[in-house]
Structure 1
């Protein structure tokens, strides 16, 4: 394949050869369920994920933390399997299984030998459709989640990123904490979370993505059987849930600069400005820009701030893209007496890449790194599975390695300079945690 494969919601079947001899297949069932698979030659395992486009941004005030609460509760048993049975199904065959909640989706996933893929389909189908949300288990898991929140509160890096998102996005739902707050979890009731589960876990919202050694037709048959056994009506006609609006969405920060006092050895900093949304066509030069600026040990920030001046141990640039908004910036940690100088040097590097762009040599290095990283990622069936899900849930198109490399190689230094200049002109927001000197505060206040 040398061009993207479109994934329209009204096309029931798709079957294509893609890079590396893999086979991409996709089925949209009459009920709206979507199954997308990538059969990889020579694979001896398969990674499977049941994705629901439901995250912290989708919750009302009364529901804060419900998506994450459900992620925990769906492992706690169904009418046919106890929590221990669920664990044993995977562990007796050496498989891995887990779940994750983000701001925009929840996924239940597993990695097993190809011969055990049918079992994984059965168990995950049972969990998605038939979890009991037993009241006793609900109360036990409430305590577990409160412990998880408390553990994160003890980690200054977790605290910094959570508070930065809250400050940066302000009242926009992307600023909400994924796990909720101690107050919202304490206030949750089993009946409210049950209602949340039944309203959102429905056929038209489910995407099942599988990568590895997979027989698409056999999996489709087993998936339908498992979901029907759980009580889902797959005969009712329905369209897949529309993909999220891809913006851009307006939001306003709360404050230009926030500091979180903590008794720590270092000052930790995040500097951020509005970035691009997930479907922005400039995401390739955006990624290449970040490689040059702060993507590794050869990056400008690492070389200038750490290697040349010894001001930090950790410094990197980042870009987080959501469906209707994004954030891009720099994160660093330094001793308080080095903070002001480190901030000045970071600011200088941001200004330099915006004004002068990157050299042809830096661009070629970034393109080579992107191609190599993309190829290496394909050695992981989990990475392939998540790429399939992102294609289906967010992008609306599948882009294989050949096309990804072609897009990188078509990027010019001017493309990178233009996107860097746009971000440099954006409104900066700063968040720090730990001790901070007056000189560092002055530098940040002048910057934002």
Structure 2
């Protein structure tokens, strides 16, 4: 439930156009974090469209019907503004951070960028070359490629297994007409969410968006196909030039819409989210196998992932995987202690609260909750959910999210398939 104070600070309005506007007024700030988000991402692409949402996000900044790409950059920076974009598996958007006094011109610029992209042929040709270099950089970065391969193992052939950037092959097929039609079909008023956090007037933002954000009136949301359950498998990329191996292991879990996400977050922290965690203590402190070891949780609209990754000398690959599996087996038998739970709970809550000192983090949080849950979740509601947790609630998840030692895996390094076969 919202507190009376939060009811004053956080407001949400669905405009007559269908655009959702959310603000959190923080009058003690002199700046605004502002974003225009679309409930559409890489998972919504067909096989032939892989990477098109990411390309469109790039093209938003390559000129509008009124300004060139250079003019956009100069205008934004002349106002002391940092403006950028992102594409994820389930959403796309642009965001900016600026002084409150520049609200009007920057909000208008952001609306112009997404309302009237020029999608000029010459800019499109150049930007495809830029993204091709981005794809190659991601593929050559062992850690990025490790995660790309992990999601491929987990989800392929579902589009959740595709890289957000797509492939160079699909990228080079996109024509202006294809990009324009994709934009008009998927980036609609009812798919749009505008969020502003900082020294900002809700009423002023609503008026500005209603006037300046001109989008198509396509249906708000195409149905999504839920990923099907798969038998654990692996993806490997042999890199003979490396001396280390980059290893990721994961289990499918429930989605962001499941209330057990709070318990899972604490479980993740206790498993591998801090220096006192089980995996950090075992692999780094006790056995000296790794420098980097961590666990993570990624929750989506209709699925989720609990994962582990570590980096070690390729000769210690088997020892590292075995240590992880052994520690997880012990955990299933021993369960987390009350002391471990208390430590992980405090660390999890502190991480959330410390992050909220950044208005951009608050903006992203509001946008994510609206996209995935279609509602506002206040800080008080979040903390209350964590405070209701018990060690039993966390331990009850263990047989569900870590029922056995059969993990999806990905590896990048000087390994061969025979090195992974003992774990499958």
TM over 0.5: yes
Contact 2:152 2:235 (8 Å CA) reproduced: no
- The secondary structure found in structure 1 opposite 2:28 is coil
SS of the residue corresponding to residue 396 of structure 2 reads helix
In structure 2, what is the equivalent of residue 262 of structure 1? Answer: 239
What is aligned with 2:5?
17
Three-state SS of the structure 2 residue aligned to 1:268 is: strand
| Paired position in structure 1 for 2:107 | 121
Quote the Cα distance in structure 2 between the aligned partners of 1:285 and 1:243.
31
Aligned-pair distance for 1:398? 2.1
Q: Does 2:413 correspond to 1:434? A: yes
Whether the 8 Å CA contact 2:256–2:302 is kept in 1: the answer is yes
Deviation, structure 1 residue 17: 3.2
Q: Deviations over 1:38-62 (max 9, x none)?
A: 0013111110110011111111122
Q: Deviation at 1:87?
A: 1.1
1:166 and 2:146 matched: no
Alignment of 1:51-130 (within 5 A): 51-130=37-116
Contact conserved, 1:275 with 1:320, CA < 8 A, in 2?
Answer: no
Q: Which residue of 2 aligns with 1:423?
A: 401
Q: Which residue of 1 aligns with 2:266?
A: 288
Following superposition, the deviation at residue 134 of structure 1 comes to 0.4
Q: Size of the alignment, in residue pairs?
A: 422
1:215 to 2:193 alignment: no
Deviates more, 1:424-433 or 1:196-205: 424-433
CA distance in 2, matches of 1:120, 1:51: 16
Contact 2:188–2:220 under 8 Å retained in 1:
no
TM-score scaled to structure 1, two decimals? 0.89
- Name the counterpart of 1:179: 165
Q: Secondary structure at the match of 2:13?
A: strand
Distance 1:356 1:241 in 2: 48
1:398-413 alignment runs, 5 A limit = 398-413=376-391
Kindly indicate whether residue 130 of structure 2 is the aligned counterpart of residue 144 of structure 1.
yes
Q: Displacement, 1:309?
A: 1.2
2:372 maps to 394
DSSP-derived class of the 1:17 partner: helix
Partner residue, 1:316: 294
Gaps of 5+ in 1: 6-15
1:79 deviates by 2.0
Equivalent residues of 1:353, 1:417 under 8 A apart: no
**Deviation for aligned residue 1:376:** 1.0
**Which residue of the partner structure matches residue 33 of structure 1?**
19
Moved more, 400-409 or 371-380: 400-409
Moved more, 21-30 or 195-204: 21-30
8 Å CA contact 1:56, 1:178 repeated in 2: yes
Contact 2:248 2:308 in 1 (8 A): yes
CA distance in 1 between counterparts of 2:202 and 2:245 reads 51
Q: Which residue is equivalent to 1:194? A: 180
Find the aligned partners of 1:292 and 1:386 in 2 and give their Cα distance.
25
Gaps of 5+ in 2: none
Instruction: Identify the residue that residue 357 of structure 1 maps to in structure 2.
Output: 335
Equivalent position to 1:276, from 227, 231, 254: 254
CA-based RMSD: 2.1
